[in-house]
Structure 1
Amino acid sequence: MLMTFMVDGEYIPERSMEAFKNGRFNKATLINGITKNEGNFFAGLPETLTGKPMDREGYMANLDWLVGLLGDRPGLKEAIMAEYPPEQYNSYGEAFAPLITDAWMASSMQRINDVLYDQIPVYAYVFADETAPSYLVTSFPQKASHTYELPYIFPGFNGSSIQSTALNPEQQKLANQMVQVWARAGEINKQSEWSIYDPKKQNYMTFTLPNSYMSENEFNEAHHTAFWNKVNSEYQAK
């Protein structure tokens, strides 16, 4: 996993994934998910701060950073660019964004769900409202980016920006649904169609407009999880 705690042997005695695999964690209902376009935030933040869109030099520098986190193995950069050809995107910012979404967020969440599903009730979700209010100023759409679900849960959240994140009536309906179902996590099956996660189905509640729905067998392909799981396993074996 790219995002983890520092194992100090006292407060954090082991890596979180090892604790999950060995059942050494507090057993409780888990709601675990991502926003559909997590990486748009991280690709867009430098542009908001500098006013300059990411260029090819910036894209390659960010790709080098990501490859470094993954062990800087020969051929990895080329493999990533082949999996996500930058020329298929409208800009370098948009080309880098899905790398963060999938490598940093989606594949990690998927592995956690797959490890925990038979130990505790796991409910998986994707926040996919691409009309969500944006508080970054970028040359490419932010869509359902990192933290953009927060105004739906915490009214007025705007990432300390001056941008308004007021919800329109349709977005507010979605917000009400999300708050209601998350506030009663232990009773999800009694009040909605949100089913317990099954890795064979890849069943995710997709919170979106005009209507939320349960998706099946879509997540892995959409987020290239087979590719990133292979990369991750090779990194751990190194």
Structure 2
Amino acid sequence: MPDFRKVRRRCALLLPVVLMLVGAAAGTEQPVVDTDRGPVRGRSHGAYSTFEGIPFAAPPTGPLRWRLPEPAPRWEGVRDAGAAGSRCVQLPVLGPGGPTGSEDCLYLNVTAPAGRGAGGRPRPVMVWFHGGGFFSGAGDLHRPDRLAVQGDAVVVTVNYRLGVFGLFGHPELGGAPGFALADQRAALRWVRANAERFGADPRNVTVFGESAGALSVCAHLTSPASAGLFHKAIVQSGSCSTTMPPRSLLPGLGTYEPFVPERRTVSDGALAAARLGCGGPTGVLDCLRRLDTGALATAELMQRFSLVSYGNSALPLEPRRALEAGRFHRVPVLQGATQDEGRLFLAQTLAAHPIGDEAAYRSRLELSFDASTARAVEARYPVSAYPTPAVAWATVLSDASFVCPTLRDGAALGRHVPTYGYRFSDRTAPNFTGLPEAPELPFGASHGFELPYLFTMAPLTDAQRQLADRMTAYWTGFARTGVPAVPGAPDWPRIDRPGTPVLSLAPGAGGIRAVDARAEHRCALWDARWPGVTASG
């Protein structure tokens, strides 16, 4: 006799997929999927459908401000999912302006290919965590239709709380719970509960992200709280070991460390509360929760609370130390950096702190490093080897802060799990940022400039589109099988020891090839000198 409970469950999961297929066949623009909180009506775009603005947690407003995410309430009827939900509270990345967005922002977006997956099999799920330094950005800024259609994957983009709303700490909170990362975990639990309803496999989830999104992926790799929520990880331009030397961008800036001890965040939170008039011995959180959004969304508070705390149950160890100790989830990892990571950051500070000649370049070295390291770096990065002093300094920052730390992490990961490294090397990549390039510092293959090759963001040349097609196939192939193998494309070497080549990604004949990135980026120098030896700061 059949088990009718299993039959009902299978029918319940199959019905949304059938509705999507029927909608696509009939040419309707409103496919409906029944999620675990209620049905949603998306939009058909021919080869794919989108379902935007789906709540994956209750609005963290009022008494829920600075609380771990709670389940989204159920809704009656069919919820329209034709537009993205509110972005989380943030300030303009550039220029003046007050806060935008809403604290009611825990929404995600699903992009699913039309029809059934290849061979009728469920598709892999790719969950994207956006960048923005943990104080800006949103999931809907990235359109993943290329990944969905060409890669035959279901892609989910996620909002998460930012700045003081996402990474605040205080003694009354018992520490710094990391609400931003908790929001991401809530989204992953939503994926686990709903992936089948969109024709995807909840047992084949890849988390991927760039910049702060990559740091998020790193945190989940090393967090006991994230166990079992994903099965593969892609880390783009933000490794567990990312740091930036003190005073490297502006004289008043200290060392940039994205992961900090929880006690530091808690201390900062107590000071901030007192400055906001909520410094009593008790009832501090109640006082802070009565403040309006604008009182908290200041430039100082959004920036100060943009660092991830460790030393708690969610993140016991500093992530780079966790990798060194082998204390991370055993899932395949694909990770990499762009060739000129540091140029984008440096370009935003050159007007205020120029590097006009060799003396200014040497001054930067002496401000950021101890005397011995400064001499060693100047010997390996002489100004005469670069078009301008600014390019020389940006190269130092790219190698020291991004490329070599990523390679160190790759070696640590590769001792335990299948690991693949890349370097995005297209120095003609489109500038999609809207930032002007300084004559003395062209952006080249700068931070984030691989994104238009994975998401629909900027026009590409024919050669760049061919590279985008290859990258899309590599990324989604990895999501499907754990191996970035593409028929007819160059093989991607697996990292199994320090010095293993990584795959350089650039357009044109021979643009995709294995390179010795450790040698090209002088990583022996940085492994010995940074971050172990620095100027005090």
Which TM bucket (shorter chain)?
0.7 to 0.9
Distance 1:154 1:58, change over 3 A: farther
Q: CA distance change for structure 1 residues 178 and 65 in 2, over 3 Å: closer, same or farther?
A: farther
Q: Name the residue aligned to 1:171.
A: 464
Which deviations, in whole Å up to 9, do the C-alpha atoms of 1:80-133 show, x marking residues without a partner? 112211233221211101111110011101111111112011011011111101
Q: Indicate if the aligned counterparts of 1:43 and 1:94 stay in contact, CA closer than 8 A.
A: no
Residue number in structure 2 paired with 1:154: 455
Contact 1:153–1:175, Cα closer than 8 Å, also in 2 = yes
Using the alignment, how far apart are the partners of 2:499 and 2:427 within structure 1? 24
Tell me the residue number matched to 1:128: 425
> % of aligned pairs identical?
25
Counterpart secondary structure, 2:423: strand
- Structure 1 CA distance, aligned partners of 2:387 and 2:375? 20
1:145 matches 2:466: no
Unaligned runs of 5+ residues in structure 2 are 1-240, 244-256, 263-310
| 1:59 to 2:59 alignment | no
Matches within 5 A, 1:89-100: 89-100=386-397
CA distance in 2, matches of 1:66, 1:27: 36
Amino acid at match of 1:137: E
Question: Is it true that 1:183 corresponds to 2:479 in the alignment?
Answer: no
Give the secondary structure class of the aligned counterpart of 1:104: helix
Q: Matched residues in 2 for 1:234 and 1:51: separation?
A: 29
Indicate the SS of the match to 1:227.
Answer: helix
What is the deviation of 1:53? 5.6
Measured at CA, do residues 51 and 175 of structure 1 come closer, stay the same or move farther in structure 2, by a change above 3 Å? farther
Partner of 1:231: 529
Q: CA deviation at 1:188?
A: 2.0
TM-superposed CA distance for 1:15, in Å, is: 1.6
- TM norm structure 1: 0.81
Counterpart of 1:16 (choices 319, 324, 328) is 319
> Which residues of structure 1 form unaligned runs of 5+?
68-72, 157-164
Letter in structure 2 aligned against 1:66: S
Bigger proportion of residues as strand? 2
Partner of residue 159, structure 1: none
Per-residue deviation, residues 109-158 of structure 1 (Å, max 9, x unmatched): 111111111201101101111110124422133221111111112222xx
Partner of 1:25: 328
Task: Please report how far the alpha carbon of residue 32 of structure 1 lies from its aligned counterpart in structure 2 after TM superposition.
Answer: 0.9
Counterparts of 1:166 and 1:121, CA distance in 2: 34
Identify, as 1 or 2, the structure richer in helix: 1
Does the aligned pair in 1 maintain the 2:362–2:378 contact within 8 Å?
A: no
1:230 and 1:200 mapped to 2: Cα distance? 14
State whether residues 130 and 143 of structure 1, in contact with CA within 8 Å, keep that contact through their aligned partners in structure 2: yes
Q: How far apart, CA to CA, are the structure 1 residues paired with 2:327 and 2:499?
A: 26
Question: In terms of Rg, which structure is larger?
Answer: 2
Report what 1:7 is aligned to: 261
Counterpart amino acid of residue 31 in structure 1: L
Partners of 1:52 and 1:23 in 2: CA distance: 41
- Asked if the contact 1:4/1:16 (under 8 Å) is kept, the reply is no
User: Are 1:215 and 2:479 matched, yes or no?
Assistant: no
Q: Secondary structure at the match of 2:337?
A: strand
Q: What does 1:73-112 correspond to in 2, within 5 Å?
A: 73-112=370-409
Look up the equivalent residue of 2:484 and give its one-letter code: I
Shift of 1:65: 4.7
| Partner Cα distance (1:52, 1:24) in 2 | 41
Residue 190 of structure 1 and its aligned partner are, at CA, apart by 6.5
- Alpha-carbon distance in structure 1 between the residues aligned to 2:464 and 2:323: 35
1:116 to 413, 434, 444: 413
CA-atom RMSD in angstroms: 2.6
Cα deviations by residue, 1:169-228 (Å, 9 ceiling, x for unpaired):
221121121122112211424645113123366221111110443314x21221000111
Per the normalisation by structure 2, the TM-score is 0.38
Q: Which stretch shows the higher mean deviation, 108-117 or 17-26?
A: 17-26
Taking structure 1 as reference, are residues 201 and 13 closer, same or farther at Cα in structure 2, changes over 3 Å only?
A: closer
Give the 4+ runs in structure 1 shifted more than 4 A: none
Q: Is contact 2:339-2:423 (8 Å) kept?
A: yes
How far does residue 42 in structure 1 lie from its aligned partner after superposition?
Answer: 2.4
Number of matched pairs:
221
